[in-house]
Amino acid sequence: MRTDLVVVGLGYVGLPLARRAHEAGLTVLGYDVSDAVVAGLDAGRSHVGDVSDEQLAAMRAAGFRAGTDPSVIRRADTVVICVPTGLSARRRPELGAVEAASRTVAAHLRTGTLVVLESTSHPGTTDDVVRPTLERTSGLRVGEDIHLGYSPERIDPGNKEFGLPNTPKVVSGCTPLCAKHAVAFYSRFVDTVVVSRGTREAEMAKLLENTYRFVNIALVDEVALLCDHMGIDVWDVLHCAATKPFGFEPFTPGAGVGGHCIPVDPHYLAAKADAEGFPLTLVPAAQGVLDRMPRHVVNRAAALLGETTGRSLRGARVLLLGVTYKPDVADVRETPAIPLARGLRAEGAELVYHDPYIPEFAVDGAVISRAASLTEALNDVDVAILLQGHACYDTSMVGRAGCPVLDTRGKVAGARTALL
């Protein structure tokens, strides 16, 4: 029995893709190497915030199934690879999951199948890593027997305005015929398809999108550091600058950057540039600024505590408000709360956290106590640090807390509140 689509990798990219394809009337199956992920989906539990349990139930009612048996790939007209790409301990690209997924897909390919890579990687990955693996293992030729393309994911977890249907989709192919097949596939469930000249251009476009954000966040972080040094209100500076109707896009400072994309993707670009003998200067400079931010927050918290209570951080109870990497999502990937917690612990602070989205938060294997009540926690700690402005947080109440509050998001006003 044939199926329109098999999604390889059912994480925050793959599962929403499967849902959207299902909504558009495609038959969809999923493959993942994680027994836990598959068991959860088979039990009707979604582990991805952008796909509800109700939406998953509708998918399953229409025939969607997840499994760990890769033989389902043989049934697919289209296979989309959505596996994670990360960094090594030395911040170098780690493509193990893409390589493994390519071998698995290759072992089960049949003539006529379209394969698309959506995982973020450096230019050349589709042509130089995926293509040789598919051809060597399957014996099929890309552009003749099978079709191969690249389409960078543009998933923004928690975004209520832009999702898969209305976010323009960049699509490319290893050959013009491959691109034609990829366009035909994505046009079935995406409003706007943008055809790239080739896979390397599409891969580079993805890295540019997130490196642009990476560098600009670092810029406003450095401006925030300078404003603190000069006694200038950085939030008023940003408010005033953002009123310009052209030539300026606002970014906001904070304790660091998080999520899977922004802290990771620029390093793929930098590593490729190094390999080409053309090392970048802005990316490592931006990383240097971002690396300073958790320590800056620790120092600001120590200064605030000393000014208001005369105490140091040693032995002080510190409340972290919002430990996710962005507001209103249940996701702690690369969250700046982790290096901040390390810095606070190094100063001898006792940590407590509050986050309605995260039932348990551990740093380096040590679980941090969770405050059940925000009101009680604010009256039971020595200093609080607002890291994420979740919509459920009453910032006026936080501003009236019995403890001093360090606001890293520019949202709280109060006599004992200090800004980043």
Q: Which residues are catalytic?
A: 261
Q: What are phi and psi of 181, to 5 degrees?
A: -65, -40
Cβ partners under 8 Å of residue 384, min gap 6 = 318, 319, 320, 321, 377, 378, 398, 401, 403, 404, 405, 406
Residue 33: which of 6, 72, 69 has the closest Cα?
Answer: 69
Q: Is 358 left (phi over 0), alpha (psi -120 to 50) or beta?
A: beta
- Contact, 78 vs 173, CB < 8 A? no
366-370 and 361-363 strand pairing: antiparallel
Cβ partners under 8 Å of residue 192, min gap 6 = 166, 168, 169
Cα 93 from Cα 249, distance rounded (Å): 29
Structure tokens at 129: 């890593």
Q: Is 180 left (phi over 0), alpha (psi -120 to 50) or beta?
A: alpha
Q: Is 328 left (phi over 0), alpha (psi -120 to 50) or beta?
A: left
Structure tokens at 296: 């800056």
Check residue 170 and report its DSSP letter.
E
> Looking at 52-94, which runs of residues are DSSP E strands?
66-67, 76-81, 86-87, 93-94
- Contact, 328 vs 391, CB < 8 A? yes
Cα 397 from Cα 390, distance rounded (Å): 13
Residue 16: which of 215, 219, 140, 165 has the closest Cα?
Answer: 165
Cα 32 from Cα 143, distance rounded (Å): 27
Structure tokens at 414: 């109060």
**DSSP calls for 223-251:** HHHHHHHHT--HHHHHHHHHT-SSS----
- Alpha-carbon Rg for the chain, nearest whole angstrom, is 23
